[in-house]
Structure 1
């Protein structure tokens, strides 16, 4: 990968620093990307991001979401607020039969390397994703093929799949130039995307540089480029916003948000729910009445106010305010009746340390459960060392921060994974015929109002079992300097810097 050009402004590279060190470092780099008058120094945007690349910015990995947030790699379709597919590199599409879809590729699109977008190259990008090892998450369990036919890409699935357009919105299925794909299977997004910003350099896990692409097919970028720094330490990211070192800061920690100028902090509900999963197969929570007692014992407001400092939303269901249609369409929920907990009923409560708030949530949940008769033993580890035990049913209860719309933007996939008899992420060990029937009906429905209504019926079926107790919905906390305009505040965290984003007055 090429070296970083001299116009980049390198700053806080530290992966883990103390508060004092973060403040000291931020003072050393206080000039940032703005001058004394608040104007962007050279029309560029300085961006501080949470996680460095894990796979060399390969679009076939979770790094694809960075490429999407930088508006450098694009997909055939994008999603609107309701999760419906909208045109992007494809102008329209139609379902030919229950397994075949035809997408018309947009004309007049130029890749950053100067080659033209064609249906052949779009199909080749999709094929590369299907042949990758491991495959992109969006293709788990999906047998998909893509071939060019004139100006169209014909996509075929092994079984009927009403969500093909939504799947193709995943950043992991971005369409790149032929030059991106090496013979050894590696994929480089440097100079090979189609977006308004061209990725021109990557500095390992420290940062990246993007310049405006003047031949962009859509609205040209207002900013001349983006300078990205990866700053895993939350205190350092907050310091960058406080000192003006960064124009836009991703994922400001709850603990730091209250220390910043409120005018610079923006909160957006995200489709992520903090849920207490209860083991329905063995132990005390095999009894629905004991599950009901646990649910009744939880004081969600205390958790939100104490741990999240009010910067979260109390859960009314599995699906939160990031999906506005959920609250609008949800009826009254039937929850399991609460029984009496025999004194001293022993349970194990697990969670993980990777999300800083979860161990604190576990302390409050333990106190609330013990108040109604449970004796609670906690087991808190790093996620990598606890996931296998959680999936094997080793815990009576487990606290998880879980994304409720996965890559397709559809909550049915999440509920099927977590609560169906054959679900691959079934921490509750739930196997309920009514739940499976509701999930199967939702999965078979086409995208749109009918599918959303059936998804809410499936949610109600899950909650009626008491297998999951949704506690709160998390928020994206995003920092923006006063002079920043047009930064996207995206609940799905797919978009951040767009053609319209500028820094400075």
Structure 2
């Protein structure tokens, strides 16, 4: 809903403090103002944790390879690669790439950057364990063991190429190769970040001179700032505000279905009754949640990978919404509503389940809709809300929803292995199936694409029919743009936003 007049007046007064100005703003086409809830982090060393996502989004950093709109690998500051044998790869570098300090990027620089990433980030350990050799205009990488995902890893934000030798402050002033550089003196962790044009950018001068990022937590204020022209771009919008902007007519709203999956986990150590898990799956109407209640902000899915990829789940034979079957499964398992309160019981004990959620994207909204739907089949589901997702690692949950990217580097293997293998870092529900383990091992090997597609299909189908997971839907990203803005990049991965073509007219 649009803000009321009273809220509008109060919000404008607050906005003056948030954006640091007052009165009407004069038009400035040299600076692009960006607002959003979580768009500034504590630091931007791309080799640490997940902070490389922001280094790429800001247009500061670049990787050797990147992902296309279809999540296929393509060269970026590399020109291509050769696979010599199972462990040996030659990466060819473009000859004209320079760092923001004007120094040409050499093979030795690339090796130093990848080695640092391997030291700083456990997810990049392949770089730490590999032998790398500089050649004339390429690098030779020999992995410790055969590793199919090397090129995919070279597109991960943790593989952002930095000038390791000259960077003095990796946390706040990394020297990289993108069209913009950060103004470290003005950086305020979790509040404000300012990027300025990289005058030494190798791929042509950026159109924008300055890009200001400012955290605005109140979405109504974000909308008002866009309407007044105090912001040019609004990121990570909830669907309700995106619709308000769309209806306003003075702004453009872009929507992109991302491979960020809302994954429903069952704790296999706690919810040992498969019939109950199956009833939950049959009792959830994903279409009603994503399309009707949440108005498209969650794109319903049967599989873990988007429809626009070759690994889509359109042909999966898995449980789908069927409340009649859900009730029949519970009845066959001994559950009956004996007192007429709408909740089934077994041995006199009502069927109660706790769903653990954390405050992220549409998770809480999904949970509320699930609660209503499951009650219709006789399950009393309560919602346990946390600030963060720490309860997963602790194993203190019955069911839980986790929002996770399934194709962060284009390959389906990391997600499937992390969530389903016995030692998987995201196998929070302790799922185990020996056949799935065998297929996962095969998936990690070098195979024709048709074989990979079949393995991805079989692994998902088995795990979903084991009632270990339920893939609820993909997150839809909404971005609001001023009519003056052109060249803003949207992508399923959400890495690539600020490019040299971004312009305010």
**TM (normalized to structure 2)?**
0.84
* Aligned position for 2:387: 382
* Aligned position for 1:242: 227
CA shift, 1:217, in A, is 1.8
Does residue 1:190 correspond to 2:173, yes or no?
yes
Q: Return the alpha-carbon distance in structure 2 between the equivalents of residues 455 and 162 of structure 1.
A: 15
1:272 to 229, 252, 260: 260
Q: Return the alpha-carbon distance in structure 1 between the equivalents of residues 475 and 150 of structure 2.
A: 28
SS of 1:302 mapped into structure 2: helix
Alpha-carbon displacement from aligned partner over 1:105-139 (angstroms, at most 9, x marks no partner): 2212221112211000110011111122xx15344
* Aligned position for 1:259: 244
1:340 to 317, 327, 330: 330
Alpha-carbon displacement from aligned partner over 1:154-198 (angstroms, at most 9, x marks no partner): 22322211110110111221111234544xxx6256372211223
SS of 1:395 mapped into structure 2: coil
Task: Assess if the C-alpha contact under 8 Å between 1:112 and 1:191 holds in 2.
Answer: no
CA shift, 1:435, in A, is 1.9
Q: Return the alpha-carbon distance in structure 2 between the equivalents of residues 72 and 49 of structure 1.
A: 19
* Aligned position for 1:492: 493
Task: Assess if the C-alpha contact under 8 Å between 1:181 and 1:187 holds in 2.
Answer: yes
Task: Assess if the C-alpha contact under 8 Å between 2:357 and 2:367 holds in 1.
Answer: no
CA shift, 1:74, in A, is 1.1
Q: Return the alpha-carbon distance in structure 1 between the equivalents of residues 156 and 453 of structure 2.
A: 19
* Aligned position for 1:66: 54
Alpha-carbon displacement from aligned partner over 1:421-463 (angstroms, at most 9, x marks no partner): 2222113321012222222222223585653443233222222
SS of 1:500 mapped into structure 2: coil
SS of 2:310 mapped into structure 1: helix
Pick which of 286-295 and 160-169 moved more.
Answer: 286-295
2:369 to 364, 368, 372: 364
Judging changes above 3 Å, is the alpha-carbon distance between structure 1 residues 189 and 84 closer, same or farther for their aligned structure 2 residues?
Answer: farther
Pick which of 274-283 and 23-32 moved more.
Answer: 23-32
SS of 1:265 mapped into structure 2: strand
Q: Return the alpha-carbon distance in structure 2 between the equivalents of residues 446 and 230 of structure 1.
A: 45
Does residue 1:122 correspond to 2:110, yes or no?
yes
Q: Return the alpha-carbon distance in structure 2 between the equivalents of residues 476 and 68 of structure 1.
A: 17
**TM (normalized to structure 1)?**
0.84
SS of 2:456 mapped into structure 1: helix
Q: Return the alpha-carbon distance in structure 2 between the equivalents of residues 364 and 211 of structure 1.
A: 44
Which runs of structure 2 are paired with 1:100-499 in the superposition (5 Å)?
100-132=88-120, 135=121, 137-139=123-125, 143-182=129-168, 187-188=170-171, 190=173, 192-201=175-184, 202-205=186-189, 206-262=191-247, 263-283=251-271, 286-305=272-291, 307-321=293-307, 323-327=308-312, 330-335=314-319, 339-341=329-331, 342=335, 343-344=344-345, 345-355=350-360, 357-389=362-394, 392=395, 394-406=396-408, 408-445=409-446, 448=449, 450-499=451-500
SS of 1:264 mapped into structure 2: strand
Judging changes above 3 Å, is the alpha-carbon distance between structure 1 residues 309 and 153 closer, same or farther for their aligned structure 2 residues?
Answer: same
CA shift, 1:413, in A, is 0.7
CA shift, 1:290, in A, is 2.8
Q: Return the alpha-carbon distance in structure 2 between the equivalents of residues 129 and 385 of structure 1.
A: 25
Does residue 1:91 correspond to 2:79, yes or no?
yes
CA shift, 1:403, in A, is 1.9
Judging changes above 3 Å, is the alpha-carbon distance between structure 1 residues 301 and 281 closer, same or farther for their aligned structure 2 residues?
Answer: same
Judging changes above 3 Å, is the alpha-carbon distance between structure 1 residues 302 and 170 closer, same or farther for their aligned structure 2 residues?
Answer: same
Alpha-carbon displacement from aligned partner over 1:323-373 (angstroms, at most 9, x marks no partner): 43344x742414398522512253432323322532332232223223223
* Aligned position for 2:14: 25
Q: Return the alpha-carbon distance in structure 1 between the equivalents of residues 330 and 151 of structure 2.
A: 49
Pick which of 48-57 and 261-270 moved more.
Answer: 48-57
Judging changes above 3 Å, is the alpha-carbon distance between structure 1 residues 364 and 188 closer, same or farther for their aligned structure 2 residues?
Answer: closer
Structure 2 stretches of 5 or more lacking a match? Answer: 1-6, 336-343
Judging changes above 3 Å, is the alpha-carbon distance between structure 1 residues 24 and 144 closer, same or farther for their aligned structure 2 residues?
Answer: farther
Judging changes above 3 Å, is the alpha-carbon distance between structure 1 residues 418 and 153 closer, same or farther for their aligned structure 2 residues?
Answer: same
Q: Return the alpha-carbon distance in structure 2 between the equivalents of residues 109 and 189 of structure 1.
A: 22
Judging changes above 3 Å, is the alpha-carbon distance between structure 1 residues 362 and 383 closer, same or farther for their aligned structure 2 residues?
Answer: same
Judging changes above 3 Å, is the alpha-carbon distance between structure 1 residues 137 and 191 closer, same or farther for their aligned structure 2 residues?
Answer: closer
Judging changes above 3 Å, is the alpha-carbon distance between structure 1 residues 477 and 313 closer, same or farther for their aligned structure 2 residues?
Answer: same
* Count of equivalent residues: 470
Q: Return the alpha-carbon distance in structure 2 between the equivalents of residues 453 and 106 of structure 1.
A: 36
Q: Return the alpha-carbon distance in structure 2 between the equivalents of residues 225 and 434 of structure 1.
A: 54
